[in-house]
Structures are given as structure tokens and as C-alpha cells.
Amino acid sequence: MRTTTLGRSGLEVSRIAFGTGGFGGQWGGFDEDTAIAAIRRAHELGITLFDTARAYGTAEALLGKALRSELDHRRDSVVIATKGGTNPGSERIRDSRRAWLTQGVDESLRALGVDHLDLYQIHWPDPLTPAAEVAGTLREFVDAGKIRHAGVSNYDSAQLSAVNETALNKTVETVQVPYHLFRRGAETDPLPYAREHNLGVLAYSALGSGLLTGSLTAETAFDPSDWRSRSSAFRGDLLRHNLKIVDQLAAFAEDRGAAVSQLAIAWTLAKADVAIVGARRPASIEKSATDLQLTSADLAEIDRIVAQAVAVGGASPEGID
């Protein structure tokens, strides 16, 4: 498993991260024992970065249970990244005020059973909380030893600039963005800003919310609790259109001895520092733990194949983008 330094944070991490969003209730049910086995298998394969969030229900506790031995005895063998600043079900769903973030970071520490978090990220930008307050709270967490590094998720360049150009300059060291072959807006914003300011870039939904796994068909039925059951991109003509493109990508991948999921991850890693990949079963993460590297000619051909793709959004605190 290849590793990288995550921007100016200095964190050395695996280029593939294990994401636990699939355990958060928005993707249908799952078997806990199988999920724990998948997490443990990921670590066996060399994945050292594990991404979770307060908003993912019991995912933090599940991750802590799966990695208990490492967290208790070999703490530096894993990098734990979590996210806070959302309050599902409340009147203020995005909440980055100091009191709520402080409650959240303490709850994350307890759920994971650790005394510090390697990376703590603001999950979604909160337009009602001043950037200086957000930066100040994150700095307090660092100074108190609760977190080692701070980042943000789903921020654009203007929001990144605002939080990093306060009196507490450069508090934020990483940015997490939705990024895959069917969702490329990050290439315009905020990736250029992140590169200019040496922010580590973590790309989530690297497999297009399942679209790039090669396992979906036009007849795939999603559990009612799965947000994809309410997304136009995962049904009807839009899904059929994009699946034809996935078939072309799969043929291109096969010529290189790879699965389409491996091609999608390799493409993401050509653009971002880390690709966050979810898995509910050990076999799924085994398939995703790829070392495939693409040439400039490969990337150009992939761009040609996906040129007519329909953009695919994702879930947000308020619903579906």
C-alpha cells in the first residue's frame, strides 16, 4: 500500500483510506460483525487512515471496537480522522459554534476510546458561525491535545480562505471533497486553492456512491433508508446512461488487468492525495486495495470515455445535492 504525506500536516498516511459513512444509516442496514471484519481486513492490507464522523451514528464506536488492539497498544499504527459540526434533526443542522464542536469532539473521543484524534474536520461549512470562531475552536482543540491536526470537509476556496486567513493563520491543514469520475466540480474549486496552499486533499465517494463498483445494474433496488433510493441519478434513464459509460470503463480497466473500481480509485489518486473508500465486507475492501497507476495516456482516454457522463451528486445534511 502506497503512502503519502497529507499536505502541510505532515501526517504519513496510506493513499487509500477506509471510510465508515456506509455505517451511518443513510445507506441501508449492515451486519456489524461483517463490518468489523472489513475494517480489520483493511488494516491488514496496509490501510492506515480511517475516516469517520459524529454524524455517522454508531460508526465511531464500531471503528473503535474493530481497531481496539491497535488503538490501545500500537496507537501510531493507525491515523483516525473524524468529523463534527453537524446536528441532524435539529433546527440548526450545520453547527460549528464552539459549544457544539466541543461537545462533539469529546463525544468522538469517548466513542472511539482514544485520548486524541489525529485529524478532526469540520464536516460541512456553517454560514452562521464566523470563520475566526471556527479557527479559534480548532486551535483550542490542538492546544489541549484533543486533536493533532485540523481540517475541513465540503468547503469551497472562499470558505477555506476565510478560515485560514484569520489571526490563527494555517489552522486548517486538510480539505475533504466529494470527487469521482461522475462528480468533478472539485477540479475547479477547491483543488487549485488546496494545491497552492499545500493542503492535504482527501477525496470521498471515490467509487461514485457505488456507481463505479461495477455491481449496480438498471434493476438495482435500494433500501428505502438508502439516500440513493431518492436520487434521480440512481434510477431510470440517468442511471442507464451512466451505466453504459461504466461498462466502457470496465472494458478499459480489463485491458489493464484491473476491475473498474480499481480504475476509478487510481484515477482519483492521480488527482488527490487520498481516496476514501467504503466497504461493508472484507472482499469489497480487498478489491479496492489497488496499486494500479495510470499513465497520462490512460487518463486522457478515461476523460474521453466519461465526457458524456451525467453528473452525480450525493447526500448532504439537508437532503440530496
> Which grid cell sits at 280?
461493508
Q: How far apart are CA 171 and CA 151, in angstroms?
A: 8
Range list of H helices, the chain: 32-44, 59-66, 68-73, 98-112, 131-144, 157-164, 191-196, 236-254, 260-269, 282-288, 296-305
Distances (CA, A) of 81 to 136, 149, 202, 203: 19, 9, 11, 13
Distances (CA, A) of 174 to 10, 132, 179, 240, 267: 11, 17, 15, 35, 20
Q: Which residue has the cell 446512461?
A: 241
Neighbours of 218 (CB within 10 A): 12
Q: How far apart are CA 59 and CA 199, in angstroms?
A: 26
Q: Which of 195, 191, 160 is nearest to 177 (CA)?
A: 191
Q: How far apart are CA 282 and CA 56, in angstroms?
A: 20
Q: Which of 178, 165, 80 is nearest to 121 (CA)?
A: 80
Three-state DSSP class for 231? coil
Contact (CB, 8 A) for 126 and 134: yes
Distances (CA, A) of 127 to 39, 55, 78, 157, 170: 34, 18, 33, 14, 20
Catalytic residue among 56, 155, 193, 204: 56
Residue 160: half-sphere exposure toward Cβ, Cα within 13 Å: 28
Neighbouring residues of 99: CB distance < 8 A, sequence distance ≥ 6: none
56 is catalytic: yes
Catalytic residues: 56
